[in-house]
Amino acid sequence: MGNRKATLLVLPATVISFFVVVGGLLAALMQSLGLLPFAGPPTLNSSAYLTVAPDLPSAVALSFGIAAASTLIAVIFGFVTAMLVMRGRFGGRLIAMVSTWSIPFPHLVGAASMGLLLGDAGFLARIFGTDSWPELVGGPAWIAVIAAYSWKESAFVALVVTGVLLTRATAYDETAALLGAGRLRRLRHVLVPLSLPALGVSATIVFVYVFGSYEVAWLLGRPYPEPLPVMALRLFSSASLSSRPEAAALAVVTTIVALGAAGLAALALRRVPLWQ
Amino acid sequence: MAVILPAPAESRKEATRNGLFASRRLGRWGRWLLVLAMTVWFLAPLLPLALWFFAERWSFPGILPQEWGTGAVQEALAQGAVPAFGRSLGVALAVMAVATPMGLLAARAFAFHRPHGAGFLSALVFAPLALPPFAAAFGLNVLFLRLHLPPMFGIVLVLAVYALPYTTFTLRVAYGAYECGFEDEARMLGASRWRVLSRVHLPLLAPALMRAAFLAFLVGWSDYVVTLLVGGGTLVTVPLLVASAAAGTGNDAMLSVLSVTAVLPPLVLLLGAAIHTRRRLGVRS
Amino acid sequence: MSATLVIEDLITTFPGTVRPALAGISLEVRAGSCTAVLGPSGSGKSTLLRSVAGLEVPDAGRVVLGGTDLAPIRPEQRGISLVSQRPLLFPHLNVLDNVAFAARVRGVPRREARRDAADFLDVVQLGDLGNRRATELSGGQQQRVALARALAARPGLLLLDEPFSALDPGLRTSMHDLLAEVRRQLSPTLLLVTHDRDEAVAVAERVALLGNGCLLQHAAVQEIYTRPVSLEVNRLMGGLNEVPGTVRGGRHESELGSLALPEDAAGASGPGTLIFRQESIMVSGVDGPGIPAIVSAVKPQGARRILTVQVGGQLLHAEAPWALPVAQGTPVRLQIPRSALWVLPEEPTATTTGSTPNATGDAIDQLVTDHV
């Protein structure tokens, strides 16, 4: 009885999720295998995958690199922010306020702002002089892209970690201090382990999001080599009909890597000494 | 779309004059340096945006605009900023209207009952967190075309699914801390089932509902890729205008006007929520 | 590992409040002894402990442990451990590593720290639970582990902040026995905060009574019960009898007649309030010896009953066993041992003279409301 009611309650959410997640993925998969052509009879073939195969290693590596670097910076800056917010007082309140600012920024707008800041005619280039200004936007190191992602996501990580720490960390911090642990020891033996689950979950969400995200890399990146989503969208909107299955093949590959990363992270998180 | 709201101010217990946090010489300088560095990190990208907004002419390498003005606003209006704003608002409100109640129902089911296949169902609801939106949009683009669904419908449907993890999670956490005793107490005092829902249940959940609704709004408001792919470019929202302005060169002033337009509504909602919370707390204490 | 604690004129004020939480407390706890800090809610008990630990920064005064002024020393270097009402075991460590925490953060190798921790787990009789997750333990077991963890830090002073108040009565009693055993084995200096008089008596040899941030009296257990320095102390310790009268020539004259005072109570002549514990009155039937009285109310209290009796115009309270057949209106006789008498030069206040049986419930709670 209770079970049937429960099923009715989750039904609306799961039906539309099922349609979008499973339906969308199946359609993309069929498209990539030539089963949903724009014109002509459907034929099962792997030519789309074979066509994109040569570009895949560099695209996957690039997307992976951007996502890993952005996640690392976001986690470090986010944790530092959370620690400062936790200390309270004026500095903590200030940091809590300014980190909230990036939350309503759409990623695209964050990227545009980062372009205005870091571009070769950007605000920093104007301040520090033009001659030696490095190629941050569209450069080989993808610095503006990584900066835009980690700028927005560090605030996200900070919020998740403060949400977990604020309620319990002070009592544990005091307990550890009275057991003789100094500041650094408390950080290493108490605050980091307590934040680890929150850091792990938020890092996974950030990594998977950045890996499959398009607009920031498209706006601030360089034309070649391309990250997976950028290549996929270029093929998707290109004029030739044969490029649609190739775009779908890239979408399938991106999804597999993203889901794989999320799965691995879930397994790893299960081994972290969690609480409740 | 990794977004989340700050924890409500009431849970922030200030550690005043705690002996542990008493600053000592080097520690104090180090902490202030860190505070300064993080403040610069979070605020730096906002500065050129604000300067460009009021720049009539700002040619390189001037550190400040040579002429101030609001001509860029006219340009942005000419690009169709007003109708785009309306369309964005429509999408965001529709996503909010779909994802919040559905998230509420799902959260209640996960919190208080154990539906059949709870693991699979929650995996389904939270799957969008790990699913690149462009990948889902590729496949759905074909499906929607074959089913002859209007683009607005498809966009809202996909974005609502992408908002569901956030609304469901927020409300699930709220139900986790929810004290069923209040409902029992109200029933014992003679309140009917519907009275309990409207007078006890929803008011107790109101803060979490507001957070969930804001997150859903933000997902709909910020989206670029789904609107572009599922709508096929027919539905021009503010992010699409920002993208085309950012892809071009030489219109940085208009880009900043459009960017500010894209940030303002969620920012106003965020500030409104913060002020509301503070006022409510002020009344209570 | 134990050291003498000396607190001198400690004043702590919370920001934004006018009245200090601690208004000049002076207290000495001898090495290896146990003092219970007793007082109503909001009297500053926990603030006193947190100020000694260094978690609160006092405005003035000194805290000296083993001859060292603690003011410039950080909480983590004071050699003070604290066990509070919540066990606060680290959720990311198992039971053994929780107990080994202090050694680990001092740089002791893991193996050695764990061996040492196992000994302390044995002291609290949980030697076989070392590998369990902290969350798998019951509340009483968690509190034992918290105690072992605090002891393993080899503190010069162990602070206990209502450590057993979340446990049920049976468990609490066994924790008192455990604490006695710990004191026998390790003899740490103990400062225990509690709101429970019985717990204070069961665990400590001295009691420090706080009220409104002031130290009202610090004395041995028996002394604070029978020789309170003020009516307030008497009431906070649960004393119910206050008889106004006059002291003259070593005797107290009142409605009860002329009673010979013990030597230490026979001070200067003049007005004085006679006090004695309700437990020390012996009640007998009408043919027994002593002062004649009439029972005006009977209130059960556990294994005994509290009688309200009337002697002339004076109401008294006395404990009596269930075996004594009394009801409202029964005439009885009262005997009060001379050694139980004590005189204070204060006048009793109107609210508590002739108090009703309701006041017996919890004199402390009653007084909190009076003060507020």
The per-residue pLDDT for range A176-208, each reduced to its tens digit, is: 999 999 888 999 999 999 999 899 999 999 999
Q: Please give the pLDDT value at position A2.
A: 56
CATH number for the domain formed by residue range(s) C5-222: 3.40.50.300
* CB proximity B20 to C under 8 Å: yes
Q: Are B226 and B76 in contact (CB under 8 A)?
A: no
Q: What is the pTM of this model?
A: 0.84
Subunit contact C91:A275, Cβ cutoff 8 A: yes
- C242-371 maps to CATH 1.25.40.10: no
HSE-CB for A65 with a 13 A CA cutoff: 15
Pairs of CB atoms within 8 A across A/B: 320
HSE-CB for A32 with a 13 A CA cutoff: 27
**Alpha-carbon gap, residue B36 to A97, rounded angstroms:** 13
Residues above pLDDT 70, as percent of chain C: 93
Which residue is associated with the tokens 């997307």?
A63
The CATH number of the domain where A209 resides is what? Answer: 1.10.3720.10
CB-CB: which of B39, B51, B267 is closest to A95? Answer: B39
Q: Examine the pLDDT at C361 and tell me if it is beyond 90.
A: no
**Alpha-carbon gap, residue C274 to C260, rounded angstroms:** 11
Q: How many domains does chain A have?
A: 1
Q: Examine the pLDDT at A62 and tell me if it is beyond 60.
A: yes
pLDDT tens track for A101-111: 888 899 999 99
Q: Please give the pLDDT value at position A95.
A: 92
Residues of chain B under the 50 pLDDT cut: 1-16, 283-285
Q: Please check whether residue B10 lies inside any domain of the structure.
A: no
User: Which of C191-208 are b and which e, b meaning 16 or more Cβ less than 10 Å from the residue's Cβ?
Assistant: bbbbbbbebbbbbbebbb
Q: Are C36 and C204 in contact (CB under 8 A)?
A: yes
**Which secondary-structure segment (H or E) carries B283?**
helix B252-284
Q: Are A33 and A46 in contact (CB under 8 A)?
A: yes
The confidence band for A256, taking pLDDT boundaries of 50, 70 and 90, is: very high
Question: How many whole angstroms from its chain centre is CA A153?
Answer: 8
- What residues of A are in the C interface, CB distance below 8 Å? 171-172, 174-182, 185-186, 189-190, 193-194, 196, 273, 275-276
User: Which of B199-218 are b and which e, b meaning 16 or more Cβ less than 10 Å from the residue's Cβ?
Assistant: ebbeebbebbbbbbbbbbbb
Q: Please give the pLDDT value at position C365.
A: 39
Average pLDDT, chain C: 87
Give the distance from residue B169's alpha carbon to the nearest chain A alpha carbon, in angstroms: 13
Contacts of A212 in chain B (CB under 8 A): 131-135
Q: Examine the pLDDT at A275 and tell me if it is beyond 60.
A: no
Contacts of C57 in chain B (CB under 8 A): 17, 19, 22
Q: Please check whether residue B200 lies inside any domain of the structure.
A: no
**Alpha-carbon gap, residue A46 to A67, rounded angstroms:** 28
Contacts of C76 in chain A (CB under 8 A): 176-182, 186
**Alpha-carbon gap, residue A139 to C293, rounded angstroms:** 101
The CATH number of the domain where B114 resides is what? Answer: 1.10.3720.10
Q: Containing domain of residue A182, as a range?
A: 67-227
CB-CB: which of A174, A179, A275 is closest to C105? Answer: A179
Subunit contact A6:B114, Cβ cutoff 8 A: yes
Q: Containing domain of residue B118, as a range?
A: 79-179+206-284
Q: Which of A179, A188, A190 to mutate to test the interface with C (most CBs of C within 10 A)?
A: A179
In chain B, residues 68-97 whose CB comes closer than 8 Å to chain A: none
Q: Please give the pLDDT value at position B4.
A: 44
Q: How many domains does chain B have?
A: 1
* CB proximity B5 to A under 8 Å: yes
Contacts of C50 in chain B (CB under 8 A): 19
CB-CB: which of C80, C81, C92 is closest to A275? Answer: C92
Distance set, CA A150 to CA A59, A170, B240, C98, C361 (Å):
20, 28, 23, 36, 62
CB-CB: which of C14, C15, C55 is closest to B19? Answer: C55
**Alpha-carbon gap, residue A105 to A151, rounded angstroms:** 11
Q: Are B140 and A23 in contact (CB under 8 A)?
A: yes
Q: Please give the pLDDT value at position B106.
A: 93
* CB proximity C105 to A under 8 Å: yes
Picking from C196, C198, C232, the residue whose alpha carbon sits closest to that of residue C215 is: C232
Picking from C164, C230, C225, the residue whose alpha carbon sits closest to that of residue C199 is: C164
Q: Examine the pLDDT at A117 and tell me if it is beyond 80.
A: yes
Q: Examine the pLDDT at A233 and tell me if it is beyond 50.
A: yes
Which residue on chain C is closest to A195 by alpha carbon?
A: C92
Subunit contact C93:A273, Cβ cutoff 8 A: yes
Average pLDDT, integer, range C210-216: 91
Q: Is A124 helix (H, G, I), strand (E, B) or coil?
A: helix
User: Which chains does B contact via 3+ CB–CB distances below 8 A?
Assistant: A, C
Give the distance from residue B189's alpha carbon to the nearest chain A alpha carbon, in angstroms: 25
The confidence band for A213, taking pLDDT boundaries of 50, 70 and 90, is: very high
The confidence band for C349, taking pLDDT boundaries of 50, 70 and 90, is: low
Picking from C193, C200, C102, C191, the residue whose alpha carbon sits closest to that of residue C152 is: C102
CB-CB: which of B16, B17, B20 is closest to C75? Answer: B20
Q: Please check whether residue A8 lies inside any domain of the structure.
A: no
The confidence band for A38, taking pLDDT boundaries of 50, 70 and 90, is: confident
Please state the domain extents for chain C: 5-222, 242-371
Q: Please give the pLDDT value at position C355.
A: 40
Residues above pLDDT 70, as percent of chain A: 97
The residue among B57 and A175 whose pLDDT is bigger is A175
Average pLDDT, chain A: 89
The residue among C338 and A129 whose pLDDT is bigger is C338
Q: Please check whether residue B95 lies inside any domain of the structure.
A: yes
Subunit contact C57:B20, Cβ cutoff 8 A: no
Strand C157-161 relative to strand C80-83, pairing: parallel
**Alpha-carbon gap, residue B261 to A211, rounded angstroms:** 27
Q: Please give the pLDDT value at position C158.
A: 94
Which residue is associated with the tokens 């689950």?
A197
Q: Please give the pLDDT value at position B17.
A: 55
Residues above pLDDT 90, as percent of chain C: 48
In chain B, residues 36-75 whose CB comes closer than 8 Å to chain A: 38-39, 41-49, 51-52, 60-63
User: Which chains does A contact via 3+ CB–CB distances below 8 A?
Assistant: B, C
